[in-house]
Amino acid sequence: MKALPKTKPKVLFGKVEGENRGPRMDALMDPPIELEDPLFWLRDDSRNNPEVLNLIKEENRFTEARTRHSKPFQQKIYADLLRHMKQTDAQVPYLWGEHYYYSRTVEGKSYGYICRRCGSMDAPEEIVLDLNALAKGQKYLDVGEWSPAPPAHALLAYSVDTTGYETYEIRFKSLSEGIRKGWEMRKLTANVACNDLIPGTSGSFVWGNDSSTIYYEKLDASHRPYQLWRHAMGTPTSEDVLLFTEDDERLWMGLDKTDSGRFLVLSLSGKQQNETWVLDLENAEGPIEHSARQLRLVEKRAENVRYSVEHHGEYLYIITNNFKGRECLNSMLVRAPVITPSSAHWEEVFAYDPAEQLKHLTCFRDAIVIHGRAQGYAQFWIYHPPITPCRSRSGKNSDEGTATLKKETHRKVPITHPESVYCVHSGQNRTYESNCFRYEYSSLVTPRRTIDYNLLTGAKTILKQVEVPYYDASRFGCERLEAPSAAPDRRGIPLSIVYKKSVLPEGVSRPAAPLPVFLTAYGSYGACNDPSFDSNRLALLERGVVYVIAHIRGGGEMGRPWYEKEGKFLAKKNTFLDFVGSAEHLVSQGLTAPDRLAISGGSAGGLLITACLNMRGAQLFKAAICDVPFCDVLCTMSDATIPLTVVEWEEWGNPNESAFHDYIHSYCPITNIRPQQYPAILVLGGLHDPRVAYWEPLKYVKKLRENLTADSGQLLLKIDMSSGHFSASDRYKYLREKAFNYAFVLEQLLIFE
């Protein structure tokens, strides 16, 4: 193999002939400017270069040697993590078609089982997918999606990734119902479940109206879903039909089906705009009828206009940030007739309320659940639309009625929750005709509950609370505080805090002495780091550590403006200053001290941590975990051949443009490393990570080592050679990695037991 060059002295920013440098040609720097990148040689897209692999292995051996002394401590933490896991457990069953589906785990098995019972839970169990069998002989396994084919659920499709690179193969399996009834096999070849394989997909797929046809996405060279294909079961993939290609590299293809089952939904989503097409599957039977159905545009894409679509009755219900030219940053709900869905026909359902963010919908025959946020927390609202002809997934109509919106009578009703600091998200809702909405509830001290909410009466039924062995919730407390940002505007930043009551008997506001604190955040893409329960956190809490989540700008906890106006593009530094301000506030209030404060973040949260380490170093922090850190922002965002780069230009800005280049240069972690005292730092990565390539943490560590002063803490790098962005897929290996990380932090905080 040809050796990689040890240097690439110049990286170009700006206009380069023959390369994609951004859509705004007039804004590109011309002539381009140059930046030295002496560590470029560490990049190997094939992940096969022996020189680079040996260097990674050398780093791993160094980390192993430096942490060997803590093996007994790691094992003790692992035992604690395992002690709080109910290793044999089962999910609450949910009805899907005529079957009750659920997943379960078995002690000693690394992966779960997806199971079902026909008609009732008293029927014999059928294992739909045995993930342990799928993982046999593999170092990594992720099942992206799985779905039984309508209407009889006799054939299963599922997508599998065995490398961590997030490229999936779609496989098929015949289920017992089809074998018993022969229903599917009359239409398909006998060996269809063995012979039909679809490689090189995004992992996302949708069945047509029956088991004859499946739709799926393919990836482009930069790992972006960009093509929609149709596959007729029992035919070779060489005969598959291309239905749509998205050439704009800023847009990411998504594939779904409406809750009613009537429409396939093709979404083309970017950070600043999107476009949606629908395909009516109603009454389609067999590949010929499916091939006759055509995609239909809902509303043409436009800059800074976003919308999403669901179906109810004879209307498409649409959440949008722009209604008749009026910006609605937190979005509002409108609707349009199925036959005329364009914005010219959009009708307001509720007046825009800037205090409430609307995000997406779950539709039932008799109600619509609106998902959103209010006052910093996730929220659900129940809306009963006017009576319309509502086709179910069986294609039958319900009673006819008026479709007129009566503004004086229609309203949305929030679901209330028992705690002031909490987290909710949707559960499994697979039955359109159901009168119950299932959701999951937890808090920093309350393990996850599965709840059915009656859409007609408002009654709640707790179906299950996850059992956490050896856990007593009464021993722990949680609070929400506010810290001033270190940014010039001093914006108030919410902090969610959980602790053992014995270390803070009078609460967070009255600490007797500085305590060890573990502070974490994310702060990008409008993602929300909500205060949910995590049993793994108990290994820290029971050792007296206070756990803090900072809901910084760039995230979406406080609504869309928290992200779009105050935490991205040329406002991105707010994210870092919010985190620094949160840490400083915890110190100034006496809750902790710089020598007792550990910080952690992953991916874009790793960018956050590495940026803040450059800003304050060991002056404010004692230890840091940088998990798959996106730390080479400037160089990565200049290169459109790297996965996600073009899509991400609408998150960070395009450094090929002067204004964004200078701004990103001013905070890019690798670019701004300087000689100073850094705290102890553990950097983590995955060799097959397509989102944050392994060379980013590797380059970061190599450059940082050259700049550590003699009084800096230890710097360790650990690259998982068999995983991608999301760490180990084996649940026991994942806990061992968590124990390793916790042991590193706890030792820095002088906690050794």
Amino acid code (one letter) for 516: P
Enter the tokens of residue 569. 């593009």
Torsion of CA 660, 10, 44, 46, to 10 degrees: 80
Rounded alpha-carbon distances, angstroms, from residue 413 to 116, 371, 406, 455:
34, 12, 16, 10
Name the active-site residue from 37, 530, 689, 720.
Answer: 689
Enter the tokens of residue 193. 């479940």
CA distance 304 to 321: 8
**Please, which residues have CB within 8 angstroms of residue 492's CB and are 6 or more apart in sequence?**
482, 483, 484, 485
CA distance 276 to 493: 35
Rounded alpha-carbon distances, angstroms, from residue 516 to 458, 478, 547, 588, 592:
43, 16, 9, 14, 6
Name the active-site residue from 603, 638, 723, 727.
Answer: 603
Helices (H), 367-488: none
The DSSP bridge partners found for residue 130 are 113
Q: How many Cα atoms sit within 13 Å of 219 on the Cβ side?
A: 19
Burial of 709 (0-12, 13-18, 19+ CB in 10 A): exposed
Which residue from 446, 409, 407, 405 is spatially nearest to 424, judged by alpha carbons?
Answer: 446
CA distance 49 to 717: 19
442 is known as an active-site residue? no
The DSSP bridge partners found for residue 339 are none
Strand pairing category for 546-550 and 597-602? unpaired
CA distance 351 to 323: 10
The DSSP call for residue 606 is: H
Enter the tokens of residue 305. 């206009």
CB-CB neighbours of 454 under 10 Å: 14
130 is known as an active-site residue? no
CA distance 668 to 653: 12
Enter the tokens of residue 614. 């450059």
Name the active-site residue from 582, 638, 725, 727.
Answer: 725
Per-position b or e across 539-549, b if 16+ CB within 10 A of its CB? bbbbbbbbbbb
69 is known as an active-site residue? no
Coil, helix or strand at residue 748? helix
Amino acid code (one letter) for 98: E
Which residue from 745, 431, 434, 433 is spatially nearest to 601, judged by alpha carbons?
Answer: 745
Q: Are 90 and 114 in contact (CB under 8 A)?
A: no
Which residue from 581, 221, 557 is spatially nearest to 357, judged by alpha carbons?
Answer: 557
Name the residues annotated as catalytic: 603, 689, 725
